[in-house]
Amino acid sequence: MVELKNVNVHYKDGAKNGVDALHDINLRINDGEFVFIVGDSGAGKSTMLKLLTREIVPTNGRVFVNGYNLSKMRSRKIPYFRRSLGMIFQDFRLIPDLTVYENVAFVLRVTDKSNKYIRQRVPYVLNLVKLADKAKAKPTQLSGGEQQRVAIARAFATDPGLIIADEPTGNIDPKLSYEIVELLKDINKCGTTILMVTHEHDLVQYFGGRIINLSKGSIAFDDYIGGEDEGE
């Protein structure tokens, strides 16, 4: 569950009197939801994601994610909190020297999962993103779309409560963007909450669902729209 209560973020640097990047944000996202976050450049999307990953704390207000009160969390607890999140970035952020298999196994090793579990889990998640046959490849041998699928497998490997995808389709062929969102939808069906920031209006219109539109630091729209994809 994600909850923001009366959240303000004021950056002191930047403009002369500082910048109100977010003001009076109230928001609740329940477990199992799939939410698109949209908004123009400068609207406050990155600031919101930084709040949710505890890179920053709000100037005022409270932020709760996966049962953690982030406004009060001590620094030493942050790494444990972050293990309850999966992150997907526009630029994939795979480790270039490791194989696809090892990129996914790596996040399980750092969270002390047993070798037996890793040997089961990695093939399972690579199969889910349809990349079982690329397990031995290095990221540079893959297309952008394939690299992002590895990143999705890695984010889901730890079975996080929440996956945050920051412009995950920004660097890949527009035709393949739909495939990426479909995969995130499949993962969402397994119970993981998904928050996806995107600029791509076509994608949002196609899939529909809950859309949060940020504008100048406020929530301009937060509602459900019908999608064009049949069967949803």
Q: Is 14 in the site for ligand ADP (CB under 6 A)?
A: yes
- Helix axis angle, 174-189 relative to 115-128, nearest 10°? 130
Q: Is 213 in the site for ligand ADP (CB under 6 A)?
A: no
Among 47, 147, 158, 193, binds ligand ADP (CB under 6 A): 47
Closest CA to 34 of 159, 185, 176: 185
Stretch that binds ligand ADP, among 36-44, 176-184, 185-193, 201-209 (CB under 6 A): 36-44
DSSP for residue 170: T
Among 19, 73, 98, 176, binds ligand ADP (CB under 6 A): 19
- Tell me the DSSP string of 177-194: HHHHHHHHHHHHHTT-EE
Q: Is 21 in the site for ligand ADP (CB under 6 A)?
A: yes
- The C-alpha atoms of residue 148 and residue 156 are separated, in whole angstroms, by 12
- The C-alpha atoms of residue 100 and residue 98 are separated, in whole angstroms, by 7
Q: Is 42 in the site for ligand ADP (CB under 6 A)?
A: yes
Of 42 and 145, the one with the shorter C-beta distance to ligand ADP is 42
The answer to whether the CB of 117 falls within 8 A of the CB of 108 is yes
Stretch that binds ligand ADP, among 13-21, 26-34, 131-139, 201-209 (CB under 6 A): 13-21
Of 59 and 71, the one with the shorter C-beta distance to ligand ADP is 59
Residues that bind ligand ADP (CB under 6 A): 11, 13-14, 19, 21, 39, 41-47
